[in-house]
Structure 1
């Protein structure tokens, strides 16, 4: 059994759901394989964090569906011969951002108009959803001040997201030395897009602490940043 097969079983190994023979086989492999031991450590850290903070996060409705529609709109604007191959194991954010490199300025302008329409509709839905009453949430000059629907202070949720980002950012920094210039440029460009969205949301919330749509966008952008860092940490 090679490392890939062992790594496929690591999740069940950590959960303790493997047969005794498989459990011993993986333990023996981990004692001799540093790469798989490192992967096991990462999974352990993630599983532990998820157990400790289960139920504390509010999922952003239809976030992936929105990005999928944007991705499809961009791809539809491409001429047949301009598409480049993207690795099968690439994540959804990596695929979306690299498609944008293949779009000309007129195509990008048309795509962004379509994106603006989608975001506008999503914002309208969000406003109507949040307009039914209840305490507003947002960012004051001193930071997030109110409480999420699950009872968790928003400043605490933001702090926890930053901790997760810091963890994956450290992994990325360790791997950067192996990247070629093109991969490094791709990472920095994609990270810049997400950081711009984060900064814009924070700016909007500083101006209007009751803007719950901006708060939701901020949460989505931070989740996207975690996803981007995780994907590049594995390259």
Structure 2
């Protein structure tokens, strides 16, 4: 495994760039992949529901079959490994996910607190559902994948692994395709994808450009 650099998280995010063209000959080290997945697994989980998981796609032939659902974005195939972050449907969260999360709590003292949290989650969820069209439980669930993915991207950057997040895919058709082949449970939906690898040498100039963001004055409002 490569040694990790000492950049602060803010600098890791400042320095990383999304790759448009990957080097198809690069193979991601298994130890690095394990760390990238670990970062996602230990990222914050809203309410402690644990409603997400990752599908790791290494097989490039299989990725070729997914191209139509990704509008033929070549990064899907040329990257070394592709991660799909999938989550539970909103209705499944209330009926199943929050109860399944309890099985990971083994400490009796913690379990008591968890039961209180569980009651609060159900009350909060019921309240949100009364908001009508202002709250979509499934979209809320999908939004949680961005937390997992960001943690993975930060870890990848520290390992000098390039990344590109994808939300530009046909979610309905991709979800159906994976469900029909048994890779996705009927109660799950694809949230977001993340390509891992190395930038194509022909495209390295893109990673050397200064990242453009709002000025600090425009971005931050301080209320003392």
- The TM-score, its normalising length taken from structure 2, stands at 0.27
Q: Greater Rg, structure 1 or structure 2?
A: 1
Which one has the bigger strand percentage? 2
Q: Which has the higher contact order (CA 8 A, sep 6+)?
A: 2
Which one has the bigger helix percentage? 1
- The TM-score, its normalising length taken from structure 1, stands at 0.26
